[in-house]
Amino acid sequence: MREIDKFRVEDGEKFKLSDYATEFKNKKIEKEEALVQIQKDILELAGLQNVLYAENRRAVLIIIQAMDAAGKDSTIKHIMSGVNPAGVKVTNFKSPSTIELDHDYLWRHYVALPAKGEIGIFNRSHYENVLITKVHPEYILNEKHIDIKDLKDIDKSFWQKRYKQICRFEKNITENDTIILKFFLHVSKDVQKKRFLDRIDDPTKNWKFSADDLKERVHWDAYQSAYEDAIMNTSTPNSPWYIIPADEKWFTRYTIGSIICAELKKLNMSYPTLSDNERTALLQAKETLSKENSVGNKRNKEIV
């Protein structure tokens, strides 16, 4: 078994997040070596993305979910630092707008999906609809469901139906040539506290901290339970979840980078090949350009 396979949640697996480490102890790599490998993965990912873009037959959707201060933004920034921005689209999902609430909850995620040849990254995602809404079910009332009049109508069957809807959504995507990689950055409550304090003490990081972060921290256990239910009900063979230890940012980046590169290499992508007619046209274009350079150089010499 590869080390990265240890972080994948198998289809139908029952588990507790407390069984997964926030700081991985049995590392087969030291920090210094991992930092070197991260740079190699960045270069490799850039090459893989280039082929994906040129091939233009598949899309990749990377979903990153986590508690606040787990390192979502910095992970995206580091791992994607070498890729061509033209082929990558990052979408940050905030509270739904009035227009978005007038559609079903998956609508805004459909329209943000990557096109073929692109890598799309959802920084938070459709899973917020079974995470923050499960911790704060009153938000569901804003969705204007016909059969939900008050909070008592939001029961276990409601959430089970929503998990099934998400699985159908992702099944449809994967059956239409989009590869889905889902990562939960598993950070401990103590490390979250430390990172919050760092944001408060460092003036350059003050903008990252909000008083609302503390309000949500009060619901830590409820969020852990919501993540357990969501991951357990939506980790499938075609779109599995990976639970990534997030107390050490270098290990988070190393692990996610390794998984993304490994999964993209499985696609056996290749640059498009030309037909005989296209190759003939290419050679003719080369000949035309070569003659053009010769004539241009001769004229320049005559002018001098």
Measuring CA to CA, which residue among 69, 35, 9, 300 is closest to residue 191? 69
Same domain, 98 and 152: yes
Helix H or strand E encompassing 99: helix 98-101
pLDDT of residue 17 exceeding 70, the answer is: yes
Same domain, 300 and 187: no
pLDDT of residue 227 exceeding 90, the answer is: yes
Host domain of residue 8: 3-273
- Residue 298 Cα to chain centre, angstroms: 55
Average pLDDT over residues 274-293: 88
pLDDT recorded at residue 15: 77
Domain count, the chain: 2
Average pLDDT over residues 260-270: 95
- The rounded distance, in Å, linking the Cα atoms of 93 and 122 is 7
Predicted confidence (pLDDT) per residue in 77-89, tens digit: 999 999 999 899 9
pTM score = 0.91
Same domain, 232 and 261: yes
Report the CATH number at residue 74. 3.40.50.300
- The rounded distance, in Å, linking the Cα atoms of 25 and 236 is 27
Same domain, 259 and 288: no
- Are 93 and 122 in contact by the 8 Å Cβ rule? The answer is yes
Same domain, 191 and 300: no
Query: Which one-letter amino acid corresponds to residue 180?
Result: I
Same domain, 174 and 80: yes
- The rounded distance, in Å, linking the Cα atoms of 148 and 150 is 6
Predicted confidence (pLDDT) per residue in 133-176, tens digit: 999 999 999 999 999 999 999 999 999 999 999 999 999 999 99
What does R_g of the chain's alpha carbons equal in angstroms? 24
Average pLDDT over residues 204-231: 94
pLDDT of residue 198 exceeding 70, the answer is: yes
Helix H or strand E encompassing 65: strand 59-66
Which residue has better confidence, 14 or 115? 115
pLDDT recorded at residue 1: 43
- The rounded distance, in Å, linking the Cα atoms of 286 and 193 is 62
- The rounded distance, in Å, linking the Cα atoms of 253 and 72 is 10
Same domain, 76 and 100: yes
Same domain, 67 and 200: yes
Reported as a pLDDT band with limits 50, 70 and 90, residue 11 is: confident
pLDDT of residue 108 exceeding 70, the answer is: yes
Average pLDDT over residues 279-299: 79
Same domain, 227 and 204: yes
pLDDT recorded at residue 25: 86
Same domain, 90 and 214: yes
CB contact set of 251 (below 8 Å; sequence gap of 6+): 23, 24, 27, 31, 34, 245
Which residue has better confidence, 13 or 55? 55
Which residue has better confidence, 220 or 291? 220
Average pLDDT over residues 209-236: 94
Same domain, 295 and 156: no
Percentage of the chain with pLDDT > 90?
A: 81
Same domain, 280 and 174: no
pLDDT of residue 303 exceeding 60, the answer is: no
pLDDT recorded at residue 26: 80
Helix H or strand E encompassing 63: strand 59-66
